[in-house]
Every structure is written in structure tokens, then in C-alpha cells.
Amino acid sequence: MSIRIVGLTGLPEVRPGDDLAALIRSASGPLDAATIVVIAQKVVSKAENAIVDLRTVTPSDLAAAWASQYGKDPRLIELVLCQSRRIVKMDRGVIISETSHGFVAANAGVDQSNVPGEHFATILPADPDESARRIRESVGCAAVIISDTFGRPWREGLVNVAIGVSGLEPLLDLRVTVDRCGRPLQTSTIAIADELAAAAGLVMGKSDGIPVALITGFASKTGEISAKVLARAPEKDLFR
């Protein structure tokens, strides 16, 4: 298999209300029907106006105390708490929480990077799968993955993972197959959408203004299955 990944240049600064699919079509031209489009969450949030003016946020006592202890903005801490349905860990100035989508991430996906203005922060799209579906249907590509940057247990460094998917199955279950020695594969399930998101991240620099990547040559299994299946079930999660 030979896969080609290209960062899409020529996109303008995305603003609330922009038709992101139209901007992608304009920058890319007609896309092959087999192309997979990977889009950074940040521009999806901007287009969908998932932006919060911190001046409208009133910090709770918990947010104020935490912010004072670790030199944080109490409004930002309050926003993180509001975007969390469960706090996994608050320690040493780091908040790990579960979002309303079921993703476990630092700061519930709240972020100020690449957001103009000191008083503004983005939050995750309300329904990343639906966002991916709308863009896929408008662009006319094989699949769309909306990616975000997550940390990982046991590992240093950050990688892009899929938080929204349309047009491909996020997981490839190999448990019905055998290895080269004939042994049944009992636990092997590959996170295809995450691997594609991580690979695309290599051409989507954080400060390069390239929030979209085009992947060709990968034969994905088509389907409409939510990216939420990538979140490990609580009964299998040793960190809960």
C-alpha cells in the first residue's frame, strides 16, 4: 500500500459562520472520491462559533482557588469545569476530564492556541461526527476525520486523534483473523481513524496555518460509526 498525505494550503483564517466545506473546496479544487480529508478541530470550532468570551464567565470558588494556587486564569478553569461531565484528575496544575462526548482529555478540549484575542477560547464542537458528515457530503470526498491533539497514558508527547468521523469505520477488528503463525488474534483492534489522524498531523503544523490534510491511497472500510467508539468503555478502563 502506498499512501500520500498532503497539507492543504491556501485556506484563509476561519471565522464564525464561515462555510468550512466551501473553503476546503475552493482551496483543494475537485477531490477524488477516494480522498480522506482530515480537519483540525480548531477550525471546525471556529466555523461553528464554538468560541467562548472569557469575560462572560464567572469563576466558581473551586475555579478561583485552583487558579490562584497554580497561576491560572480562573475564567479558563471555570470553562474547563463547565465543559466536563466528570473530573478524572486535578493535580499539579493539570486537569484531566471527561467531556460530554465521552473523550478523556486535558482541559476538556478547551484551548486558547491560535485563537485571536486574549479573552477568547475554543471548546469542542457539539457533535463532531455530525460536523464531519456535513463536510463530507458537501466536499464529496470518501471520508472526513476531525482531529484534536491528545496526550496518552504511559507515553510522552502529543498526537492527533479522531474526535469526529464520517465515511469510514474508526476501528478495524482483527480478532477474527490469525497471525502469520496461525495463532488467533484475540485482542487486536486497530484504531484506523486515530492512525490516519496522527499521520495527517505530520503535515498540519500547529503554527503553519495548515489545518486540513488530504490522504489518498488508503482503502478504508466505509461506514457511519461514531468516533465515540474510540473511547474505551469504563468497565475496560483501568484508569477510572
Distance of alpha carbon 146 from alpha carbon 163, whole angstroms:
6
Each residue's pLDDT tens digit, 190-210 = 899 999 999 999 999 777 789
Residues 204 and 211: beta-carbon distance below 8 Å:
yes
Position 240 in a domain: no
> What letter would DSSP give residue 23?
H
User: Which phi and psi (to 5°) does residue 225 adopt?
Assistant: -120, 135
Number of structural domains found in the chain: 2
Each residue's pLDDT tens digit, 90-146 = 999 999 999 999 999 999 999 998 888 889 999 999 999 999 999 999 999 999 999
Q: Do 44 and 58 have their domain in common? A: no
Q: Do 16 and 108 have their domain in common? A: no
Q: Do 11 and 115 have their domain in common? A: no
Q: Please check the confidence at residue 175 and state whether its pLDDT lies above 80.
A: no
pTM of the model: 0.92
Residues 6+ apart with CB under 8 A from 89: 95, 96
Cell digits of residue 135: 463536510
Q: Do 40 and 60 have their domain in common? A: no
- What is the residue range of 72's domain? 51-124
Q: Do 141 and 225 have their domain in common? A: yes
Q: Do 91 and 177 have their domain in common? A: no
Distance of alpha carbon 20 from alpha carbon 16, whole angstroms:
10
Position 193 in a domain: yes
Confidence of residue 165 (pLDDT cuts 50, 70, 90): very high
Instruction: Say if strands 36-40 and 143-152 run parallel, antiparallel, or are unpaired.
Output: parallel
Fill in the amino acid letter for 218.
F
Confidence of residue 186 (pLDDT cuts 50, 70, 90): low
Position 238 in a domain: no
Position 156 in a domain: yes
Distance of alpha carbon 108 from alpha carbon 54, whole angstroms:
16
**What CATH number does residue 63 fall under?**
3.90.1660.10
**What CATH number does residue 171 fall under?**
3.30.1330.100
Distance of alpha carbon 230 from alpha carbon 169, whole angstroms:
10
